[in-house]
Structure 1
Amino acid sequence: MRVHFVLHESFEAPGTYLDWAQTRGHEISMTKVYQSEQLPQTADAIDFLIVMGGPQSPDPDLEAFPYYHPEEEIKLIRSALSKDRYILGICLGAQLLSQAYGAQYEPSPEREIGNYPIELTAEGLKDQHLQHLGEQLVVGHWHGDMPGLIQGAQVLATSQGCPRQIVRFSPKHYAFQAHLELTHELVELLIAAEGREALLAQSQCHPFIQTPEEILHYHYAEMNEKLGAFLDSLTESTSSTSAE
């Protein structure tokens, strides 16, 4: 399988998503947007498109991020949609996926930074690829916005601070606002990018922002393993269905 990653910042690395692709022996390619690399014009050479997070929003901001062109990413996502490829959007990528579907991203009711539980909805509990998550799971968060919804999109998981943590747009297209790919190493990068003092100050006035010490205290292995199980289930079951 040809897996292509769209990376918006060096500190928003693919983590467990990349580990999974390497372990499964998939062919891996990347576009590092932050290095002004050009996106593929189409998804012809992509089987699984994974669009990662970043500090940006789906709106262009050439002054702050001159290398970031969301309209080009949405074009690539729509090419993948038209070819029925697997698509997974994480954080900013989740919002871009919703935009590609014609929805409008929105501010989350609360900014979330740290490790907080998500709870599967009734629809989420029925999703065959999320069975291993259980009713509730503590996962990583680092966001202020959330994906939009269209008719037919299913909200599969929520949190106290955000009502759209996992959204399924189609059997092959999922939006993850949460970060199940995080490791201690990646969290250190995110904390450094945010600024320890800034993060500490935010934690004192926002109910769903943890201190750097609280964030680093969490053990990420279980979350990472369950993400790998989701990816296996998604690609194996839909591949079998397509083959039939």
Structure 2
Amino acid sequence: MRVHFIVHEAFEAPGCYEKWAHDRLHTVTYSRLHVGERLPATPDRIDLLVVMGGPQSPATTTAECPHFDAVREMALIADCAAAGKAVVGVCLGAQLLGEALGAPSLPSPEPEIGSFPVTLTEAGLRHPLFHGFDETFDSGHWHHDMPGLTADATVLAASPGCPRQIVAYGRLLYGFQCHMEFDPDIVNGLIASAEKELALLEGRPFVQVPERLRSNDHCEANHLLELFLDRLAAACAAA
């Protein structure tokens, strides 16, 4: 399987997504936009596109962030979807996926930074890619916004701070507002990049302090993410 990662910033690394791809011996390629690597021109050499997060929003312009071209990214995402490729968008990536399919992103009711439970909806509990998951499980979070919903999108998981944690846009198209890929290195990088943000948000109900952020265990979320990705890969092979 050919897995391509779009990475916007070094501190928004693919984490468990990348580990899964290498452990399963998939062919892995990258567009590390923060170091000047380009987006693929077409989806021809991609089976699974994974679009990572970042401090940008779908409305961020190239004047504001020269290495981030939301219009080109959304065009690639739309091309992948039209070609029957699998797409997983994470945080910003989930918002770009929704926008590429015609659904504008929105502010989340609450910012979430830390590890908090997400709960599968009835649709999530019935979904074959989430079969056997606990109804509620802990996941990492680091966001202010959430993905939009197309007319045929299905919300698979929600949290007290955000009603759109996992969204299915199609059989092979998924947006994860939550960060099930987190590991200690990613969390430390995010903390270092967001000192002012964390200070401004201190005391909000779903924002944890750096000491707590560093102590969170993401192993169970990683395991569940790998299970989901194995099933997604099988669905791609059967398509």
Normalising by structure 2, report the TM-score: 0.97
Q: How far did 1:132 drift?
A: 3.3
2:19 and 2:129 map into 1 onto residues whose CA distance is: 19
Partner residue of 2:106? 106
**Contact 1:132/1:229 (8 A) holds in 2:** no
Q: Pick from 215, 218, 221: which aligns with 1:217?
A: 215
Q: Structure 1's 43 and 168: CA in aligned 2 closer, same or farther, altered over 3 A?
A: same
- The one-character-per-residue Cα deviations of 1:178-231 (angstroms, maximum 9, x if unpaired) are 000000111000000111x64244222x11100011111111111111100110
Match of 1:207 among 205, 208, 224: 205
Provide the rounded CA distance (Å) in 2 between the counterparts of 1:236 and 1:117: 27
- Specify the alignment match of 2:224 in structure 1: 226
Give 2:187's aligned residue.
Answer: 187
* Aligned pairs (5 A) from 1:1-244: 1-195=1-195, 198-204=197-203, 206-240=204-238, 242=239
Shift of 1:233: 1.1
Long gaps (5+) in structure 1: none
Amino acid paired to 1:219: D
What value does the CA root-mean-square deviation take over the aligned residues? 1.2
SS of equivalent to 2:119: strand
Q: Given residue 39 of structure 2, which amino acid in structure 1 is its aligned partner? A: L
What amino acid is aligned across from residue 42 of structure 1 in structure 2?
Answer: T
Cα displacement (A) at 1:13? 0.2
For 1:53, give the aligned amino acid.
Answer: G
Instruction: Supply the AA of the counterpart residue of 1:226.
Output: L
CA contact (8 A) 1:34 1:67 kept: yes
Return 5+ residue gaps in structure 2 as ranges: none
Percent identity, please: 44
Give the distance between the partners of 2:46 and 2:64, measured in 1 at CA.
Answer: 30
